[in-house]
Amino acid sequence: MNEKLPKIIGKQVYIRPLQKDDFENWSNAGESKEFRIMCGASKDSKAPATKKMKDKFKKAIDQKSGLHFAIIKKADEVYVGSCRLHMVNQCDNNARLAIGLLSTYFGKGYGTDAIKCLLKFGFKTMKLHRIELRVLDFNKRGIGAYKKCGFKEDGILRENAYIDGKYYDDIMMSILESEFKE
């Protein structure tokens, strides 16, 4: 199924199916403390062990945990992160989006550009009606990128995440096919 996923070209990046030789780059994302915290891990967390990462990566490229793409910078073909659509519901035509960049590339617009590519794939190729996501309320850069792509806040999952002895809200956001602008 992976081979059938298309390459979608954005302004600064393109997305293409995640492939076997992306493993090192893909697993390096979790080396960043900020990355882990924004994904809900403890401040004291360590990058996951290689075996765990290998199993997770295998599931990803075998399409067992969603439709996985690598994000590649157009200017120099460098890997900057990965993104995926998962929890695809073919009855209601919806799915959930997730994204993570290598920390060197935070805050340069690549995330926004990649999200738009993934939305294009979801709405134009998969013909989805709605794409949603869940983001921790302190992830201001994530929320900023999602809003720029047209996501709206659906509501708050109050104190849904327990991190380092404290509860944090998760925000549910979504975008409908009719709201998507390339």
Ligand X SMILES: CC(C)(COP(=O)(O)OP(=O)(O)OC[C@H]1O[C@@H](n2cnc3c(N)ncnc32)[C@H](O)[C@@H]1OP(=O)(O)O)[C@@H](O)C(=O)NCCC(=O)NCCS
Nearer to ligand X, 109 or 150 (CB): 109
Residue 162, Cβ neighbours under 10 Å: how many? Answer: 11
Judged by CB under 6 A, how many residues of this single chain contact ligand X?
22
Shortest Å distance, C-beta 35 to ligand X: 5
In DSSP terms, 133 is beta-bridged to 173
Q: Could you tell me the strand order of the sheet in which 79-89 lies?
A: 8-9, 13-17, 67-73, 79-89, 94-101, 130-136, 166-176, 152-163
Shortest Å distance, C-beta 168 to ligand X: 12
**81-100 footprint of ligand X as x/- string (CB under 6 A):** x-----------------xx
Give me 56's structure tokens: 């997770």
What residues have CB less than 8 Å from 44, skipping those under 6 apart? 164
Asked if 11 is part of the footprint of ligand X (rule: CB under 6 A), the reply reads: no
**122-161 footprint of ligand X as x/- string (CB under 6 A):** -------------x---xxxx-xx--x-------------
Q: How far apart are alpha carbons 9 and 14 in whole angstroms? A: 4
Asked if 35 is part of the footprint of ligand X (rule: CB under 6 A), the reply reads: yes
Nearer to ligand X, 41 or 126 (CB): 41
Shortest Å distance, C-beta 167 to ligand X: 17
Half-sphere exposure in the Cβ direction for 128 (13 Å, CA): 25
Binding site for ligand X (CB under 6 A): 35, 38-39, 81, 99-101, 106-112, 135, 139-142, 144-145, 148
